[in-house]
Amino acid sequence: MANDLKQQIRDFIETSFLFREGRDQLSDDASLLDAGLIDSTGILELVSFIEGTFGVVVEDADIVPENLDSVSRIAAYVESKHVDAPAITAMAV
Amino acid sequence: MRFEEYLRRSAERFPDKTALVAAPRRLSYSQLDDMSDELAQGLIERGVGSGDRVVLFLDNCVEAVVSIFAVLKAGAVFCPVNPSTKADKLAYIINNCRARAVITQQKIAPVAADAVLAAPSVELTVIADGEAAPSTPGFLHWRDVLAVPAFRLLQGAPGIDIDLAMLIYTSGSTGFPKGVMMTHQNVVAAATSITTYLENTSDDIILNVLPIAFDYGLYQVLMAVQVGATLVLEKSFAFPQLILQRAAEEKVTGMPLVPTMAAILIAQRNLAAGALPHLRYITNTAAALPPAHIERLQALFPHVALYSMYGLTECKRCTWLPPAQLKNRITSVGIAIPGTEAYVVGDDGQRVAPGVVGELVIRGAHVMKGYWENPEATAKALRPGPHPWEKVLHTGDLFRADEEGFLYFVGRKDDIIKSRGEKVAPKEVENVIYALPGVSEVAVIGVPDPILGHAIKAVVAKEPGAEIAEVDIVRHCARFLEDYMVPKFVEFRPSLPKTESGKISRRLVAETPGGNASDAAH
């Protein structure tokens, strides 16, 4: 499941942000910020994607690099939210 | 006076005071002064001399600030370029100004390498960070360029104040960027005027998230050094919670914003009134803040002076609204900045009466010398003024003044839409739409229409989770605007395209395909 989750996140990032940069590789642990992939409006798109796709509510206080600045971190964050709400996990994944 | 002299003075006055915070690093004024001396010496030893152009292709980092002052101390001209610039455009800029040196950083070094390969003028490329020696042949690492520390150079001035200090490339409506030529005198005049009305002192702690390749961000560096304040430099506003935390930790007193940042800031649901108790002022420029956002900022930061400002790269800043005027003139961008003049002229170049829309013209020591090797564009922007000895800056922006002389931005001269034979300023429609809760960004453009001439189209980005439909926008506009101003088409997009300086670009909105536009008339 974790790999599916990462793949979904990666697909979103690649279609939404990556094509603008003309890059082809993004490691799971690479900082999206340092890679110049995401800016203040990009993060809003990312948050809507997470909320819409995984059925989690992203609190403002959750929008920090620890949760959202790499594919791995986003996946871990989504999983941690799903532990809180297992019914939604079943629905969204 | 040349600008680097302010760094020397601040280093003399406050040698141990923190000049720059770029987490996790902190630099005192004497460190900043010494580091820029060392780099200046290194640049000189490698052939960078008086009047040479040095491109700074760097994000918001310590080395960028050091480089700015090092280039000036070497008598050269710095040319900051946004680090997200792609190789072709970077090469265009380097070739256009025939830069002798480029200073960049590891993560964007491949872009710089591609550009430098196509730029025969470049004799020195410096990588400012990283441990390893640069992999690109001919590139030098920062530490290899620095001269021997403790070597005090440059006791004499490297030039005079009418020398060029910087070249700032600005997006031209024709597609090719133009280099705005600013002398030390221009920069000193602009910075002095702005720090005067912001009442900046050495007690200020200024938070800068704006790219320092953008003149609004760049001037935060320059003005902080000029008054001996502390600059807190951050790279991105992507994580606003992080920035707010940094602002609180560093006890920042000044926070420059652009409208997109303001929109994101006020959308933070956990931000309570009275946050950032040390904050003294917020500034906004690049584009006007929608009145609804101004009111929200005032509610969140009741103890903070909010400055609405307007400017363009060609003179840095044109106008400011004294904060006390906000309550009566919320949509005004104010009056000419201290020591300058700003007035509205008609097509004949003569001043027009209050209330009449015309082009804003600027007089002052902050007005650029022209566009680098571009006499045609220069002649359009700098035209004969009221006196035979001078040229004045034609901004290309439409304004009107009220009876007291306060200025109101109406629209970019060529952005006015004619619909049903009536003139529609996109700005006016946008302001109304911004007042609708849930709207994050909006651009209003004209689309060719066989009956109307141009039909009004609103392209809107919603705040996350906002439930707004096309019909809501149209109904809302119909409530506040004349019929001919109400959009015929509404299109939603996740975000709107912006210029490098962060302004929503109506041109890019019009040029880029979005989702399906719905005909609001149905």
pLDDT for B521:
37
Torsion of CA B277, B283, B284, B285, to 10 degrees: -160
Contact B107 A42 (CB under 8 A): no
pLDDT in tens, B332-389: 999 999 999 999 999 888 999 999 999 999 999 999 999 999 999 999 999 999 999 9
Q: Which residues of chain A have a CB within 8 Å of the CB of B465?
A: 48, 51
CA distance B206 to B198: 12
Contact B494 A68 (CB under 8 A): no
The more confident residue out of A33 and B58 is B58
CB-defined contacts A:B, below 8 A: 65
Contact B238 A51 (CB under 8 A): no
Contact A48 B465 (CB under 8 A): yes
Model ipTM over 0.90: no
Residues of chain A whose beta carbon is less than 8 angstroms from a beta carbon of chain B are 22, 33-36, 38-45, 47-48, 51, 59-61, 63-65, 68-69
Contact A44 B242 (CB under 8 A): no
Contact A48 B494 (CB under 8 A): yes
Contact B107 A39 (CB under 8 A): no
Q: Which residues of chain B have a CB within 8 Å of the CB of A38?
A: 238
Q: List the structure tokens of B384.
A: 């004969």
pLDDT for B402:
96
pLDDT for A22:
44
Identify the closest residue of chain A to B209 by CA–CA distance: A40
Angle between helix axes B29-45 and B62-73 (nearest 10 degrees) is 60
Identify the closest residue of chain A to B466 by CA–CA distance: A48
Contact B237 A40 (CB under 8 A): yes
Instruction: State the sign of the Cα–Cα–Cα–Cα dihedral A50, A56, A61, A67.
Output: negative
* Closest partner CB to B241 (pick from A33, A51, A64): A64
Residues of chain B whose beta carbon is less than 8 angstroms from a beta carbon of chain A are 83-84, 86, 107-108, 235-242, 260-261, 264, 268-271, 440-441, 461, 463-465, 494-495
Q: Which residues of chain A have a CB within 8 Å of the CB of B87?
A: none
The more confident residue out of A38 and B339 is B339
Question: Contact at 8 Å (CB) between A13 and A45?
Answer: no
Contact A61 B241 (CB under 8 A): yes
The more confident residue out of B67 and A23 is B67
Residue B344: what residue type? V
Contact B495 A43 (CB under 8 A): no
Mean pLDDT over the full length of chain A: 78
Contact B239 A43 (CB under 8 A): yes
pLDDT for A17:
66
Within 13 Å and on the Cβ side, how many CA atoms surround B135?
6
pLDDT for B517:
47
pLDDT value at A20 more than 50: no
- Which one, of B87, B93, B286, B406, lies nearest residue A22 by Cα? B87
Residue among A40, A43, A66 with most chain B CBs within 10 A, to mutate: A40
CA distance B9 to B228: 8
Residue ranges, chain B, pLDDT below 70: 147-156, 171-176, 286-287, 412, 414, 418, 420-423, 450-453, 514-522
Residue B300: what residue type? L
pLDDT in tens, B430-489: 988 998 999 999 999 998 876 666 789 999 999 988 999 988 898 888 777 777 788 989
Distant-in-sequence contacts of B243-246, Cβ < 8 A, 24+ apart: B243/B207, B243/B209, B244/B268, B244/B271, B244/B275, B244/B276, B246/B23, B246/B207
CA distance B451 to B335: 40
pLDDT for A85:
56
